[in-house]
Structure 1
Amino acid sequence: MSRLFLSNNGEPAIERNELLVSYSYTDRGQLQEVLDATGQVVRNFGYTEEGYLKRHQLASGAVREYEWARYTFPEKRPTPRRADGTPYRLPPLLEPQPDHEWRVVRHWGSDGEEYQFEYNLEEGETLVTDGLGRIDRYFWGPLYDVYKHVDALGNCWQAEIVAGQLVKRTDPQGGEWRYSYDDIGRLIETRDPLGRSERISYLRHWALPVQVTDRAGRTRRYGYDAHGNLLWEQDPLGRSTQYQYNPEGRVTHVTDALEKTKHLGWNTRGQLLSYRDCSNNQTLYHYDLYGRLSESINARGEQTHFRYDARGYLIESERPDGRIDRYEVDTAGQLTRYIDPAQKKLQFRYDLSGRMVERLDAMGHSVRFRYDAYGRLLQLTNENNESYRFGWDKLDRLIAQEDLDGSGRIYEYDVLDGVTSLTHVPSPHEQAPLSENAPATRTTPIRHDFERDAIGRLLSKRTEDGITDYSYDTADNLLSIIFTNNQGEKQQLEYTYDPVGQLLSETNSAGLLQYRYDELGNLQTLTLPDQRNINYLYYGSGHLHQINLDGRVISDFERDAVHDEVMRTQGSLITRTRYDKSGRLSGKAIHYRDAPAEVLPLLDKTYRYDASDNLIAEVLTQTQRRSLGDIAADDTAHLEQIIGHFHRSSHTGKSYTGSNRYGYDPNEQLQNTHQSRPNWQATQVEDFKYDKAGNLFDGPKLHGLIKHNRVLVYQDKRYRYDRFGRLCEKRIGSNWVQHFEYDAEQRLICVDQYRSGERERVMFRYDPLGRRISKEVYQSDHSEPRQRVLFHWQGLRLLQEIQSGLSSLYVYTSPKSYEPLARIDGGYGKESIQHFHTNLAGQPEQLTDESGGTIWRSDYCGWGEIREQWQDQRESREQNLRNQGQYHDREIGLHYNTYRFYDPSIGHFTQPDPIGLSGGINFYQYAPNSISFVDPLGLAYDPISALLELGFTGVEQTQSGGLDYRNSNALYTEKNINPVVTIEYTGDYALDAQAANTKAGLNQKSTPRGYVWHHVDDYNAQTNRGTMQLVKQTAHLGITHNGGVSQYAAVTGKRYTHPARFSKGAKPCP
């Protein structure tokens, strides 16, 4: 097969051609070999004497073989029937048909996978037995429609199929899904096991829906032109989106509910050439002769270039500043080496079936994977040669996981694959106490039991501490969560929603929170329990340009052509932001808001990076005073007063330059820091050493390892963990001992500590979502706390704290961000606004009041511990926010991080990751470094790093924490298939995948083996649409990220389900 290039003058003459792929055949005309553009054999085939496929070999070397047997047709076959029960009258056959057929009776592969097939043609039954002895039975009708499947555990899935249409599906627990069709076979109604109905009406002659009414009676409407192109769609709130097309049927204009229009330009090949947003900012795309993306130019003029090998695989991507990422791909199309712009290498090794078996990081440390013949992971061995082990049931469901120390988890399931129990098994090993009065640790398992309804929704969770009940509306929106403890005391959360499923209110420990949205679904107003309003103003399609409190401006924002922030107001101050050619933050400058242009900034921060994007230097230039020239005397005095207030924490009376410098090892782990300030006697230096698994250790050992990833000794600190891997005891020096206690949800509830002979107890309480709602500090044996702090939440962000009766309200840089913007102290009508100034990772460095005066300032050690801080003596409130999503508990020296606690002195969490291996293979690791990485929920380190560890490059993280695989090597690359499509969300993984498969041009309902459809986090609540990307399963499963499904759930309250599933499929997007 060749590619033909026509002459440029439009004549049909062929200017040149180029070989793409070539094929060779046997003497009987059967395909024998497939060779790629370089002449490399990528597939070969062998056949039986009868002409049936006997074997084929993949480019990786894996071989698949088949054994065939001849079957004679039975004399009588069942008669196919129509929906009304009448038999089909098949047309007469034009020629005699054979009385037999050949069927595969055995299939096996070079990796040990094996299946045997037994057929009963008279009864329409097939038995499939694999090499593990698992048996699946399939029953099929006269048209070979499978109407019953008995799986390897004996669960029976039944389907009623009439005239080739599925009319009823019954799951093993009796739940029925019913389907109705119109006269021309279009699906018009789906009824679930709870009796809820979804209805669809269509254009008269086309299978194009004009109205879809969901289970809650909410209706979406659609209009089309004479060619079937979608012209408009309207959501249940009446908000419309309109589309215009060019003569080839490609969308050229998209006009949203605010009548703002986006423009798309295409070439004759159907490739996107330009995208201009409603703010008139344009992104351009260029392609090479083969139709591959060769260049993208964003609205800031930054150019990214892509280069490919002769087979079409990406081998180089050049960033706007000229740095180059390189990729090496083997014959099978698998990434074997990634070389970053700093020439650091990640290497990957695969088995013959394409499963990764080893990953080597930039320092040569190895992570190994071992599978069984059926692709199930049996063992995962980390860099320290310690292993996780896994057990699976007959349906390939994970039933047991053994962790590094012998502790683990046991899972039980219902027939719909819903987890019904989770048991945490303690380790058989006990660590010796650090003190004489250390309490005994738990030795028995911790069990959680779950109850679900007929469609798999969680109804209740039972633990040793009590029962949590969940209720839903007819649209599957979560209405309430009620926790009842063993004493009968209740905690309740309640929610309400609008007709498109957007959250309207939440009742929690703070009272009633109310939400109002603009026409595009952007949060417009958050109404607090005391009726104050935090308002968000946007431009374009949802770019934030102001946050105010009841009209009182907290911050105004200005943005550049790609909508990155370039300026924000902060009371009397302005912060201006600069970027380099690659879009990295290169500097910040804090100015007095009304200062003339010739006045230097109060503080200028300049950032420098290495070739791997690690921050290597911050230069801080502080201006104390300068000649103000011809500025009026009154203005001069005022400026000097502002300068003095801003710098009153600096302990110096003149301008100065300070710096923070950072060094990294090849794995981007923080290796050293050098911090200097004029008022310090010497440069502050830190040096860090790590074992192969990234654990911080103390001492001169060059090849030491931290067993089970648990730091036991660091400087003057000693750590002890219980049998579940939780920190249970900590000794600091000789006079401070802490003991930690946990509840049935493994949340820290009590710290008993003894310091210099004094006893103190710190108690924590949580709401039904696991958010901490109070902290109480007790001195010695006093029955009343000496300090009580209450915490209120908006979603999973800290909204407010009340300490000693003093209220502080937190505002963040956007409705989805965890980077603090402002703290509002005081109640209604008595507010004072304090403004946060943060570092590159969003960590607060300075807090200023409305006049620009500093009231708090800090410098940090390498892993987030305070090195030095200053606070205005007139300020009674403590500033406890640290890394994004973290709150410093001064009493115990740890940071609360939503789902667990973080110890900034060792850069590790104190408890294993609640999401297990989904957060990485080191349960305690925060990140390679805390200078550039963030983890607001305390659940997982950077997903891009996790993907690189798995051999996937080019994935980009979106602003809301999602993943975009568009330019990655994880994207599906088969010819003539579009792996990026837009669909309408259904609330059902299987139906979404079917729609995406169709739009992609796959011409099949099933997703290609080894791939999964990723829901990009661009879900549009108004149109109920979003982007899907077809990516490798191994680049998706276990990679924690925000996705369109979580956005859909947040807007609608629905949990995605599998109602269209008849057999098991790939696991879903989060």
Structure 2
Amino acid sequence: MPDGSILVKTFYPDGTPAMERLKDSSENIFSQTYNTLDSNGRILRKQSGTDNDWYWTDHSYDLNGNLLQTTSRLGITEKWTYDALNRAISHTDGLGNIDTKTYDLQDNTLIAKDALNAGTNPYSYRNGKTLTQEVNSDYGTKAYNYNEADLLTQSLYGIRKCENTSIDALTRIGKIACTHASTTTGATEAHDFIYTYDSSRFGRLDTVTANTVYGATTNYTYDNYDRIIKKSQNNKAISTWSGTKPTLDVSYTYTTGDKLSSLTLPSGRKLTYSYSGTKPNQLTDLKLDNVALLRSIAYNTAGQMTGWNWGTGNASYTWTYDASKNGSLKKISNKNNSAVENYSIDYSYDRDGRITKLTRNNGLVDNFTYSNADRLLTETRLNGSTNVYGINYTYDKNGNRLSLAATGTHQQPNANVTYTYTGNKLTKVNTTNVSHTANFELIYGGFTPAYDYAGNRRWSGKQNGASTGYEYYMAYNHKNERTVRGYSNTNSNWKDNAVQFVYDENSHLIGEYNASGTPIVEYIWLGDQPIAAIYGSGTTAKTYWIVTDAQNTPRRLIDSTDGNTTVWAFDSTAFGIGIPSVQTVKFNLRFPGQYYDELTKQHYNLNRYYNPELGRYMEPDRIGLEGGLNPYIYANGNPLSNVDPSGLEYLASGWYNVSNPSIFSKDQTWKGIQNQFEGGTGVYYADLQKFGFEQFIDIDQQIQSSILNSNGYMNKVISSIGDNQFFNFDWSKKAFGSDYIHSFIKGKAWPFGRIAGDVSGTIIKNKDGTYLASGVINFRSDTYSWKPDYGRFLEDTGIRVFGAVLGSEPSSYYKKNNNGEMPIEYPRNFWFITPGKWK
């Protein structure tokens, strides 16, 4: 691959994956997974890592080939049963707890019940598979209405009504308005946004306008390749409160290879990214206002990032992988300018891949045990040989915490707690009853929450009707990103303590600003990892390095001035309870996607609020049971192995931290997999794994000089259609030639072989003279190579698109492969999208 690593994939004759291995040119293995099959060709065992006695799962099947049981290395079993149509109707977890499903004739889920018999009964549908209603015992009834094309036009949830209107021919929603279901009161709790498309070019979202006095309006500016180069956010709440600067901007620039080259923060600070000349996918340096922030970013021989130097000195942050455990993180180490370790964590795992021990350089050692449902049962902390604390957890059949028992300096509000539930809804903590809103959001603690009609927490206020006290007021943009938090003490001016928040295109928080637009703190990210925080502005600004753990949870802030002084230290419990042991600087980032609100002691988590004291969310999951059978649980009860940066659905975090983080925006990452074609010359490299995603390739000249434009056909059509009109093209090849689309293989003493591809698509003409062409290339058969026994090897392979090569690989990749089928494959279908200016 372009970074020098080698990814080997092998398959059984029926196409079942046999092995995937990441290695370097010296045959050093960095990660590996492989499958063994039973006599019927079904996967018998999945094995991860090079240690054959670690992290495998055995599988067994019924006579119809349905998976009946899995057994892990530690003997934990999960089981499934099926109906006569081979649909899973029950699942039994490792503790014997059973959840069930039933279906209708269209294979839609009708009833979904967890092991507590809570859940949805029933789901209702129309027109086959269009959901119209769900009745859930935990979060109530949700109803959905559609137009004649089965596009959602209205959702009803208790007193909340959301309407999607002005839906265009491309099914894009023009307005989303969430209001009270039956009255016109509560305008300040309305969620109302207008979406404006195609103003700058067809297909673009140009503006999202807040149609309320507290929302956030967002404007987007693009370059000629439809990449966002500027986002402008106007916080109407700040204007309502008479703030002087409600508009904040962030800007981006890109390399010709579609990589991020600079990011300008709302303060005007500028980040610049540098890449390797020989391995262009590898970031080498990151500067802040032309001064090194990260320097000498290092990679192992398999192309995995392994660390960097901080600033201009010798301070460093590094990590190592364990190939025997499939590349799991082994150690994180931060060192000062004298190469002395000022923070480190060593990770230990059980044979099912779960973290069992954290060993820190400060003498703290945490040990963990788990249930057979992978939920955390115990955590203990030692300082040397001295016990610091111990915590035991118990759970019900669906992962709700039933009890907590803590000893020592445990950081919990209470040492012994019992919890009572109705289904999955918490109803009592010890002897204290807790309540919920009409839409089943939990009311617990010192502040009473209130929500807008889209389900965003808008207010955290004085409890039990008190006339004095602290309160928060929050506002959000169209992506549910919290853009303003006002803070008042006994009805003081909201503006005085207001904080404006700005995010990047991946919903990472990149800055906090007061009502005058002055930066409070700005955050620098590398992929999903926060790496630096800049406090203040002007000559008094200070930069601190953020040292994170394997999950990207910040654990230390290091003063960049000396590269050694810790100004903030946070060694929390597994569920995030704890007061920073050092707090010279206030710092509010917590678990991935979370921001600590010091008044409520809860964490804003993009779509919900997390309560570390309870180890669960305060709101049911917005996406219902799609996020799991327990709508309130955090990280499935295992916050060491799982994260939930969006507040919607947990993710396994084994590779979450540092496996070559992407610095592209979420909507642009896959458009930039390879370099832009330049007139159809030269060889370009692409990641073969990612051909299944939409590609962004510039083929203006290729199209215009190809058979597609024979006798000026394409020129004539472009000239004949009007602005914002389009035409379709469909071309099938009957011969090979340099102007045609085809895949090819080439080797020493081999004949030149090609497989023809057909192309079809649509060209849209924009008002400004540019166009957008999109379509699909379909190859007529699979592309593969077979290496003969007499030692000849594959020299070149790729896909040629109108004279330019896509995905050619150097011959050294193949020299070391054994005789037999080569590990090259291209999908039969390849999507492309190409904006540009017709010449």
- Normalised by the shorter chain, which TM-score bucket? 0.5 to 0.7
Distance verdict in 2 for CA 1:513–1:996, change over 3 Å: closer
Distance verdict in 2 for CA 1:518–1:306, change over 3 Å: same
SS at match of 1:300: coil
Q: Percent identity?
A: 17
- C-alpha distance after superposition, 1:410-441 (max 9, x if no partner): 32222263222222224xxxxxxxxxxxxxxx
Residue matched to 2:20: 317
Q: Greater CA deviation, 796-805 or 884-893?
A: 796-805
Distance verdict in 2 for CA 1:769–1:732, change over 3 Å: farther
SS at match of 1:707: coil
How far did 1:808 drift? 4.5
Q: How does 1:84-483 map to 2 (within 5 A)?
A: 298-308=1-11, 313-320=16-23, 321-322=28-29, 324-341=32-49, 342-343=51-52, 344-409=55-120, 410-415=122-127, 417-426=129-138, 446-471=140-165, 472-483=167-178
Is 1:564 aligned with 2:282? yes
How far did 1:765 drift? 5.0
Q: 1:589 aligns with which of 295, 302, 309?
A: 309
Distance 1:605 1:824 in 2: 22
TM-score, normalising length: structure 2? 0.62
- C-alpha distance after superposition, 1:222-256 (max 9, x if no partner): xxxxxxxxxxxxxxxxxxxxxxxxxxxxxxxxxxx
Residue matched to 1:27: none
Residue matched to 1:693: 373
Distance 1:524 1:935 in 2: 28
Residue matched to 2:179: 484
How far did 1:775 drift? 5.2
Distance verdict in 2 for CA 1:701–1:463, change over 3 Å: closer
Residue matched to 1:547: 263
Distance verdict in 2 for CA 1:482–1:833, change over 3 Å: farther
Q: Is the 8 A contact 2:500 2:515 kept in 1?
A: no
Is 1:725 aligned with 2:424? yes
How far did 1:586 drift? 2.0
Distance verdict in 2 for CA 1:422–1:719, change over 3 Å: farther
Distance verdict in 2 for CA 1:696–1:944, change over 3 Å: closer
How far did 1:373 drift? 0.8
Distance 1:709 1:556 in 2: 45
How far did 1:879 drift? 2.3
Distance verdict in 2 for CA 1:347–1:698, change over 3 Å: same
Q: Is the 8 A contact 1:537 1:545 kept in 2?
A: yes
Residue matched to 1:885: 593
Distance 1:464 1:575 in 2: 50
Distance 1:448 1:820 in 2: 37
Distance 1:532 1:520 in 2: 24
Distance 1:566 1:333 in 2: 45
- C-alpha distance after superposition, 1:909-940 (max 9, x if no partner): 55554435544566625279767764320222
SS at match of 1:708: coil
Distance 2:486 2:163 in 1: 27
Distance 2:421 2:469 in 1: 22
Distance verdict in 2 for CA 1:921–1:551, change over 3 Å: closer
How far did 1:703 drift? 12
SS at match of 1:611: helix
Q: Greater CA deviation, 521-530 or 861-870?
A: 861-870
How far did 1:300 drift? 2.4
Distance 2:349 2:758 in 1: 40
Q: Is the 8 A contact 2:333 2:341 kept in 1?
A: no
Q: Is the 8 A contact 1:460 1:467 kept in 2?
A: yes
Residue type of the partner of 1:837? I
TM-score, normalising length: structure 1? 0.50
SS at match of 1:478: coil
How far did 1:345 drift? 0.9
Residue matched to 1:51: none
Distance verdict in 2 for CA 1:367–1:789, change over 3 Å: farther
Q: How does 1:833-848 map to 2 (within 5 A)?
A: 834=543, 837-839=546-548, 840-845=550-555
Q: Greater CA deviation, 740-749 or 539-548?
A: 740-749
Residue matched to 2:409: none
- C-alpha distance after superposition, 1:821-840 (max 9, x if no partner): 6667779x999585653535
Is 1:684 aligned with 2:364? yes
Q: Is the 8 A contact 1:712 1:720 kept in 2?
A: yes
How far did 1:887 drift? 0.8
How far did 1:687 drift? 1.8
Q: Is the 8 A contact 1:668 1:928 kept in 2?
A: no
Q: How does 1:726-875 map to 2 (within 5 A)?
A: 726-727=425-426, 765=474, 767=476, 770-772=480-482, 796-798=507-509, 801=512, 808=520, 813=525, 818-820=528-530, 834=543, 837-839=546-548, 840-845=550-555, 856-861=567-572, 863=574, 864=576, 868=580, 870-872=582-584
- C-alpha distance after superposition, 1:648-689 (max 9, x if no partner): xxxxxxx55542122222233222212223xxxxx1122222
Residue matched to 1:616: 330
Distance 2:689 2:488 in 1: 55
Q: Kindly name which structure, 1 or 2, has the bigger radius of gyration based on alpha carbons.
A: 1
Is 1:935 aligned with 2:644? yes
Distance verdict in 2 for CA 1:413–1:793, change over 3 Å: farther
Is 1:574 aligned with 2:288? no
Q: Is the 8 A contact 2:20 2:33 kept in 1?
A: yes
Residue type of the partner of 1:496? T
Q: 2:315 aligns with which of 597, 602, 609?
A: 602
How far did 1:446 drift? 2.1
Distance 1:927 1:984 in 2: 44
Residue type of the partner of 1:497? Y
- C-alpha distance after superposition, 1:742-790 (max 9, x if no partner): 76877667778999x99977666565765546656677x9899896656
Q: Is the 8 A contact 1:338 1:345 kept in 2?
A: yes
Residue matched to 1:635: none
Residue matched to 1:493: 193
Distance 1:833 1:316 in 2: 49
How far did 1:337 drift? 0.6
Distance verdict in 2 for CA 1:491–1:925, change over 3 Å: closer
Distance 1:488 1:752 in 2: 17
Q: Is the 8 A contact 1:730 1:738 kept in 2?
A: no
Distance 2:566 2:173 in 1: 42
Distance verdict in 2 for CA 1:532–1:579, change over 3 Å: same
Distance verdict in 2 for CA 1:758–1:340, change over 3 Å: farther
Distance 2:653 2:556 in 1: 30
Distance 1:691 1:493 in 2: 45
Residue type of the partner of 1:512? T
How many aligned positions are there? 617
Q: Is the 8 A contact 2:371 2:377 kept in 1?
A: yes
Greater RCO structure (CA 8 Å; 6+ sep): 2
Residue type of the partner of 2:93? N
Gaps of 5+ in 2: 235-245, 380-389, 407-414, 433-443, 656-660, 674-686, 694-754, 764-774, 783-805, 808-830
Q: Is the 8 A contact 1:927 1:933 kept in 2?
A: yes
Gaps of 5+ in 1: 1-297, 427-444, 593-599, 626-654, 678-682, 947-955, 972-977, 987-994, 1003-1025, 1028-1046, 1052-1070
